[in-house]
Structure 1
Amino acid sequence: MPTDKPTKKATSKKDAKPKADKVLLAATDLAHQAAVDIAEPGTVGEHVGAVMLGDRLAMHYFECTSPGYVGWHWAISVARAPRQKYATVCETNLLPTDAAVLSPDWVPYVERLAPGDIGAGDERPYVEDDPYLEPGFEATGEEDVDQVGLFELGLGRPRVLSAEGRDAAAQRWYDGDGGPHSDVAQQAKAHCSTCGFFVPMPGALRQVFGVCAGEWSPSDGKVVSLDHGCGAHSETHAPATAPETVDAPVLDELALDFS
């Protein structure tokens, strides 16, 4: 017959809270000695609490006073067998609390590298799925097509710049010292586009960039934009100034003074 009386919800053993064990919770001295045995001298602080982890299994926590482990606790687990009247040490650990000083998450070497980090003898790890690269082109056997591929598309290289990689490089160069916003370019009287020392860049980047070949330019040998500029422009001419004459007294060092 149905009944209106509420039924108690069954509680699984997994959800049940462990029963307090007086023997284990009172084993503070045993746990403290276990922590002292594994710790550096003087690094085991006050007892900060104990919790039941399961049936006949408890964990005691002690403050770690080592300067290198601020916010860490020595954690000593103790247990006892059924009907056993004393506790035994199970494990000893050094565990962090929410206030612990932790090392940052590990980041792979290739992701830690930043532009400019590669020095002499260093190598950048191979990145298989680099979004800035795409497969190169193989020879077709047609001379005209292969010539274009050789000089423009990177024939013979396993990978070449992708559209995303080209756009990223162009933006980086344009915003850098070789672009129109640098101090040198802002004070220049003419742009690189009209300079005889400007060597246009082949390929798709030709419309915006080239390389400076001016020996006197601060950008010599570097990528510059068409609207970059400097004081070493091939067509600029600083007016010559005549040397200044200064009236100065004439000193006769050969004259003798007989007075």
Structure 2
Amino acid sequence: MVTSGRTRAVKLDSIAAGAVDLAREAAEETAGVLGVGEYLGAYAEAERVVSHHFACPHPGYRGWHWSVTLVRASRARVATVDEVVLLPGDDALTAQEWVPWADRVEPGDVGPGMLMPSPDNDPRLEPGYTGGESAADPEPAEASVIRAVVSELGLGRERVLTVEGRDEAAERWLAGPGGPDNQLSKAAPATCITCGFFVRLRGGLGREFGVCANAYSPSDAQVVSIDHGCGAHSSVPEPERAKELPPPVWDTIAWDETGGLFD
């Protein structure tokens, strides 16, 4: 069966379209202090369904309009009110599109006293190794050994970074101020990998990153890449201090006190 792609235009019902006073009365009853302004016209929504539009004169709703939908039953000679709503126009002031909370939070938004839970399906995290159930028992000596080994290996956490989490952090750090592609690194005399203040991270991230421990560096206490750099590198030589000059052979500076005129 082949159907035509054309849609038949809905005919404006004359009885529902002519009930402008009924539509205005319904709008005024709903509007209250917002008021009902000039009549904007009638539009056919469906067969025997017509919406009447009225401007909203309230200054807080500029660009909005009242829409009163009237319906006429089959073979009925009068229309009845179906609904009254306030709708925004093209230039109306409306709220921004809803953004879920998880998508609204950005790096740096978490402040003192705020909590940001990590979802169970966070792709950056995976279950860690805590030593098993026996490691939680403080009595057996074997459990103590397990806990010591787990702690020494840096484990013992319920969740640890996944490969995706580490890669994401590495890309973010390389592109940030602690990476190599910035003016600070380009003007540095050497890179962090050769600096005595460079403290390398442990694990896989330690191959590319460490922490700066120089209080005079702009990167102090921050994660930096091995090819990052700054002017506070430990190999920067101390400027040569001025040497103390020997006493002059003929002193023309000191003031010699002499006696009186008749001494």
TM-score, with length taken from structure 1 = 0.75
Gaps of 5+ in 2: 133-141, 246-252, 256-263
The offset of 1:165, in angstroms, is 1.2
The offset of 1:132, in angstroms, is 1.5
Out of 61, 64, 67, the residue aligned to residue 56 of structure 2 is 64
Q: Secondary structure at the match of 2:172?
A: helix
Give the Cα separation in 2 of the matches to 1:149 and 1:233.
36
Paired residues, what number? 235
The offset of 1:113, in angstroms, is 0.5
2:92 counterpart of 1:92: no
The equivalent of 1:129 in structure 2 is: 121
Q: 4+ residue runs of structure 1 moved beyond 6 angstroms?
A: 140-148
The equivalent of 1:25 in structure 2 is: 17
Provide closer, same or farther for how the CA distance between residues 131 and 239 of structure 1 changes in structure 2, counting only shifts above 3 A: same
Instruction: Give the AA of the match of 1:117.
Output: D
Q: Secondary structure at the match of 2:119?
A: coil
The equivalent of 1:164 in structure 2 is: 164
2:34–2:56 contact (8 Å) kept in structure 1: no
Give the Cα separation in 1 of the matches to 2:122 and 2:241.
56
The offset of 1:24, in angstroms, is 1.5
Which one is further off, 98-107 or 128-137?
98-107
Residues 184-203 of structure 1, C-alpha deviations (whole Å, 9 max, x = no match):
32222122212222111100
Q: How does 1:78-117 map to 2 (within 5 A)?
A: 78-81=70-73, 84-97=76-89, 100-117=92-109
Give the Cα separation in 2 of the matches to 1:27 and 1:241.
98
Gaps of 5+ in 1: 1-8, 253-259
Give the Cα separation in 2 of the matches to 1:138 and 1:231.
43
TM-score, with length taken from structure 2 = 0.74
Percent of aligned positions that are identical: 46
Out of 81, 104, 119, the residue aligned to residue 111 of structure 2 is 119
Q: How does 1:234-249 map to 2 (within 5 A)?
A: 234-242=234-242
Give the Cα separation in 1 of the matches to 2:239 and 2:162.
47
Residues 72-96 of structure 1, C-alpha deviations (whole Å, 9 max, x = no match):
3211122345555443323211123
Instruction: Give the AA of the match of 1:106.
Output: W
The offset of 1:214, in angstroms, is 1.6
The offset of 1:135, in angstroms, is 1.8
Q: Secondary structure at the match of 2:37?
A: strand
Out of 19, 38, 52, the residue aligned to residue 30 of structure 2 is 38
Q: Secondary structure at the match of 2:38?
A: strand
